[in-house]
Structure 1
Amino acid sequence: MRQFFVFIKCELGQTYDVAAALVDQVEEARQVHSISGAFDLLAHFSVDTDADIGRFVNQKVQTIPGIKDTQTILCFNAFTRDHGLGEG
């Protein structure tokens, strides 16, 4: 599985509606957080290893009503207590 995050800027007054739509309509959404700063939401997604992330964001995320802008962050490795460090 490939993990990535998307910062999402919403139209004014639409943040909670966008968050609900992501959770309800996008099966690959693992978590959606409201955040402070330049963006309104941070969404964590998990897709198949061979998935086209650009196409996924374009077709499944950016088409949700109320989304104004996105920025995608690709993940290379997850470092946690149970995996990611020193495993061969």
Structure 2
Amino acid sequence: FKRQAPMAVVYKGIQLDCGYRTDIIVDEKVILELKSVAEIQPIHKAQLLTYLKLSGLKLGMLLNFNVPLMKDGIFRFANDL
């Protein structure tokens, strides 16, 4: 796995080498975005979907650690499946 993996962003032909950083990429297949917030907001979901689109990966997991039961803090996202 890779932690704090930089993601390049290309805009109008200009490449920003470190536009974003994903929390964890597992086996070049799954992005894990880690949070510890009272409630997952739409911006958190949008952030993960943006990472999936920029990376070309298909699967992402949004994990919120600020819940009594971990199963309630796991959200799965698929990009173009």
Q: TM-score range by the shorter chain?
A: 0.3 to 0.5
Structure scoring higher RCO (CA < 8 A, sep ≥ 6) equals: 1
Q: Which has the larger radius of gyration?
A: 1
Q: TM-score, normalised by structure 2?
A: 0.36
Q: TM-score, normalised by structure 1?
A: 0.34
